[in-house]
């Protein structure tokens, strides 16, 4: 083992011990309890939220007690790329088409980043149960669908992407991780979507004044000298605009956006609502520096089941369960080294990755802060949130391009702010072929502790 990896192992061990002994985990457990049913692990399926079919698409969403779409807060420790986390320029896209041949990322390619969350390392029993109860809640939702399928004598092929197992397939071990998708990574700006074949505007006659005297007066008025212009106070130097969710950037700002795997022409990189521990927006090119394995994340998300009817290629109905993140926050940083994204250098297929308005929820999510977490350590003095236009910086190893490391720099140097802001793109299913699931009967889901029921969290009750 190298000296660098040895130091990393020692550092991570100390970090997890500090989280436990320094009171961070205890504070997290109390905060999650205070979230009540806006925290997924506290919510009860078919009591706090229930399934609802979207009439125009026949897909399935979930509604809360207020009949609006159910938004929930999800907590966990960010897992590594080996476990399925994919936050590079290609997201979870595999550079592989339906026929198995190499396929690059194009303007029409649906690319999403994926976060895989695991139980916090060295977590006490009550916090571990809170994490696994999130999985148990999702299991209850899938069990309900299974009973409906049996009653209707349906036999759909189910891809369970809400959860996954940390043990490599084939395995009968229960799912113990959560899979969460961020919104579309790239989009073609609306000003570029207009038809190029549209005809030029036609000339049209305008109403004329039939009073010659009035016309003459108007003509005289038009030739009067203009009043002197007021002197405008000029601000020295360029002032880049503050970064906002929905801003569009040049995709080439990402370190791993290179090689034959990328053929974007008009599509731009979207600024998602991803924030560091100080509440500052994180530029997508800096995800690997801020979202390191071991980071504790709080994610505000919605649940979906996309239903695909049979077709010529697939004779059975297919169901795809997805968690879609609307906002991501780091609530405790990690001192583990960042996982720099791989660079696509050949035209071969990439190795497959292992798979497996919500006002109350949003307010609870925004109010979630930890006193025992700081930007520099995982347990320490609290920090004051900085401006949204200033991203996090770190003295530890970085994956980012050295030329520009902040959103403010990017706004001026890379002309990041494009026409056509995207605030919250509509959710859409991103189909992924999962080779490990082909021809394999879906395994029975259980809570990660081997039980179908929910773990004990100090006898909490929620109205």
pLDDT string in tens for the chain (463-residue length): 444 444 445 457 899 999 999 999 999 999 999 999 999 999 999 999 999 998 888 899 999 999 999 999 999 999 999 999 999 999 999 888 878 889 899 999 999 999 999 999 999 999 999 999 999 999 999 999 999 999 999 999 998 789 999 987 767 889 999 999 999 999 999 876 544 444 555 555 666 655 555 554 444 444 455 455 455 455 555 556 788 999 999 999 999 999 899 999 999 999 999 999 999 999 999 999 999 999 999 999 999 999 999 888 888 999 999 999 999 999 999 999 999 877 665 444 333 333 336 677 777 888 887 877 765 544 333 344 444 444 444 445 677 544 444 454 444 334 334 333 333 333 444 444 333 333 444 444 444 444 345 777 765 544 4
User: 410 and 250 in contact (C-beta within 8 Å)?
Assistant: no
| Closest residue by Cα to residue 18 from 119, 122, 117 | 122
User: 458 and 136 in contact (C-beta within 8 Å)?
Assistant: no
Instruction: Parse the chain into domains and list their residue ranges.
Output: 3-191+240-437
| Closest residue by Cα to residue 294 from 335, 354, 340, 327 | 335
Tokens of 117: 């969350």
Report the half-sphere exposure of 237 (CA within 13 A, side-chain side).
Answer: 3
Does residue 458 come out as left (phi exceeding 0), alpha (psi in the -120 to 50 range) or beta?
A: left
Distance CA 302, CA 322 (A): 9
First-to-last C-alpha distance (Å) of the chain: 52
Residue 66, Cβ neighbours under 10 Å: how many? 11
């Amino acid at each position: 083992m190298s000296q660098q990896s040895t130091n990393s192992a020692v550092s991570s061990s100390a970090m997890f011990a500090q989280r436990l002994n320094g009171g961070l985990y205890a504070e997290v457990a109390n905060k999650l309890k205070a979230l009540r049913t806006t925290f997924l692990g506290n919510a009860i399926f078919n009591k706090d939220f229930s399934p609802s079919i979207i009439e125009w698409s026949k897909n399935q969403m979930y509604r809360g007690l207020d009949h609006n779409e159910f938004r929930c807060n999800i907590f966990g420790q960010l897992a590594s790329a080996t476990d399925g986390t994919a936050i590079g320029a290609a997201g979870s896209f595999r550079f592989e088409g339906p026929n198995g041949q190499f396929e690059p990322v194009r303007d029409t390619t649906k690319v999403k980043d994926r976060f895989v969350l695991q139980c916090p390392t060295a977590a006490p029993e009550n916090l571990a149960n809170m994490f696994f109860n999130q999985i148990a809640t999702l299991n209850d939702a899938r069990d309900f669908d299974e009973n409906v399928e049996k009653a209707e004598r349906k036999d759909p092929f189910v891809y369970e992407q809400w959860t996954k197992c940390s043990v490599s397939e084939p395995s009968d071990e229960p799912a113990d991780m959560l899979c969460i998708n961020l919104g579309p990574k790239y989009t073609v700006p609306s000003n570029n979507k207009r038809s190029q074949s549209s005809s030029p505007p036609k000339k049209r006659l305008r109403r004329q004044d039939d009073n010659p005297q009035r016309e003459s007066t108007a003509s005289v008025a038009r030739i009067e000298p203009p009043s002197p212009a007021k002197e405008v106070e000029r601000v020295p130097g360029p002032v880049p605009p503050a970064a906002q969710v929905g801003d569009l950037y040049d995709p080439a700002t990402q370190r791993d956006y290179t090689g034959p795997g990328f053929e974007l022409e008009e599509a731009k990189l979207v600024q998602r609502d991803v924030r560091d521990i100080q509440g500052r927006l994180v530029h997508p090119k800096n995800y690997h520096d801020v979202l390191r394995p071991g980071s504790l994340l709080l994610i505000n998300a919605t649940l979906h089941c996309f239903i695909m009817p049979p077709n010529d290629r697939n004779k059975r109905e297919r169901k795809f369960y997805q968690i879609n993140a609307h906002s991501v926050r780091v609530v405790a940083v990690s001192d583990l080294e960042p996982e720099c994204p791989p660079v696509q250098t050949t035209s071969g297929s990439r190795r497959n990755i292992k798979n497996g308005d919500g006002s109350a929820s949003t307010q609870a999510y925004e109010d979630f802060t930890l006193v025992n977490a700081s930007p520099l350590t995982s347990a320490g003095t609290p920090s004051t949130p900085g401006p949204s236009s200033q991203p996090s910086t770190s003295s530890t190893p970085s994956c980012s391009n050295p030329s520009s490391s902040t959103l403010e720099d990017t706004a001026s140097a890379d002309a990041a702010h494009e026409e056509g802001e995207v605030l919250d793109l509509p959710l859409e299913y991103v189909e992924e072929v999962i080779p490990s699931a082909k021809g394999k009967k879906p395994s029975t889901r259980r809570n990660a502790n081997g039980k179908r029921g929910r773990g004990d969290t100090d006898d909490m009750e929620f109205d």
